[in-house]
């Protein structure tokens, strides 16, 4: 097993898997989005690792063969990871594309899921980065589109903008982003969500322009055992933009279903 240190978290490498695993107790498995990273769940990790085993698998968004680079390819990866780790039951948390993956995994292996929290999840409707793929050489455009992820545009740090800029300027990464995004749009889950009966916690930003609040309301209607909270002054990443409220809502939900 190789170990890499990143943003104070230790990334473990075992076979095909790279992941963070912190704390002890029931497993809380966090799934990031298409442009997401470990840092997206830093506050969740800090808050819950005293009572839970907080796990963040690094999705192989840019490393799988092209024929496996899809939302279902990511589900296959998470399925294999959970089996490899021997987790009996997991509390899934998914943001954006990560929520879509959580939904598809739950439809496949509902007996392995204790609960699911979706925040700004795709799977029903999502807006794209814009009317076209980001212009590679235009960093100001990248910064503006990245800032639209948040209610508070100052959260689009230089580091975050640089990460997105590097992705769209890498031909191999850019192709994979397009493949995954198109597969997610094609894989609409409206007709399947009634099959999910585990407790579901929906946390949405009132100012989310990518998966607007009406998407959360639709999930609430279609998931039979769900509850929805909409956070004011919050965009597409509530766990980053409103971490205190997000963690308190998570804690209350988990205590209620325990």
CATH class of segment(s) 2-257: alpha beta
CA torsion angle for 237, 239, 242, 244 (degrees, to 10)? 180
Q: Which two tokens stand for residue 86?
A: 């021997």
Q: Which two tokens stand for residue 187?
A: 């894989």
Q: Which two tokens stand for residue 98?
A: 């990560």
Average per-residue pLDDT for the chain: 89
Q: Which two tokens stand for residue 35?
A: 């442009």
Count of Cβ atoms closer than 10 Å to residue 158 Cβ:
9
- What is the pLDDT, as a whole number, of residue 8? 65
CA torsion angle for 85, 90, 91, 97 (degrees, to 10)? 60
- Backbone φ and ψ for 2, nearest 5 degrees, come out as -95, 150
pTM to 2 decimal places:
0.90
pLDDT at 113 over 90: yes
Q: Which residue has the higher pLDDT, 141 or 93?
A: 93
pLDDT-based confidence at 127, cuts 50/70/90? low
What integer is the mean pLDDT of 231-252? 97
- What is the pLDDT, as a whole number, of residue 180? 86
């Amino acid at each position: 097993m190789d170990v890499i240190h990143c943003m104070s978290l230790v990334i473990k490498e075992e076979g095909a898997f790279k992941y963070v695993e912190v704390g002890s107790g029931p497993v809380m498995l966090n799934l990031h989005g298409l442009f997401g990273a470990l840092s997206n769940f830093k506050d969740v990790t800090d808050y819950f690792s005293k009572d839970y085993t907080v796990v963040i698998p690094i999705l192989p968004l840019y490393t799988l063969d092209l024929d496996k680079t899809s939302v279902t390819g990511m589900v296959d990866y998470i399925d294999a990871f959970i089996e490899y780790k021997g987790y009996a039951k997991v509390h899934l948390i998914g943001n954006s594309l990560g929520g879509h993956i959580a939904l598809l995994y739950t439809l496949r292996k509902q007996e392995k899921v204790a609960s699911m929290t979706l925040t700004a999840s795709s799977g029903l409707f999502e807006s794209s980065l814009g009317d076209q793929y980001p212009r590679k050489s235009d960093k100001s455009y990248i910064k503006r589109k990245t800032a639209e992820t948040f209610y508070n545009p100052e959260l689009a740090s230089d580091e975050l903008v640089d990460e997105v800029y590097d992705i769209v300027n890498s031909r191999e990464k850019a192709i994979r982003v397009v493949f995954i995004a198109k597969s997610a749009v094609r894989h609409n889950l409206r007709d399947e969500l009634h099959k999910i009966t585990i407790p579901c916690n929906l946390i949405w930003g009132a100012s989310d322009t990518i998966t607007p609040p009406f998407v959360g309301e639709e999930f609430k209607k279609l998931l039979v055992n769900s509850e929805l909270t909409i956070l004011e002054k919050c965009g597409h990443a509530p766990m980053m933009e409103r971490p205190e409220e997000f963690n308190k809502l998570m804690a209350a939900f988990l205590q209620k279903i325990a």
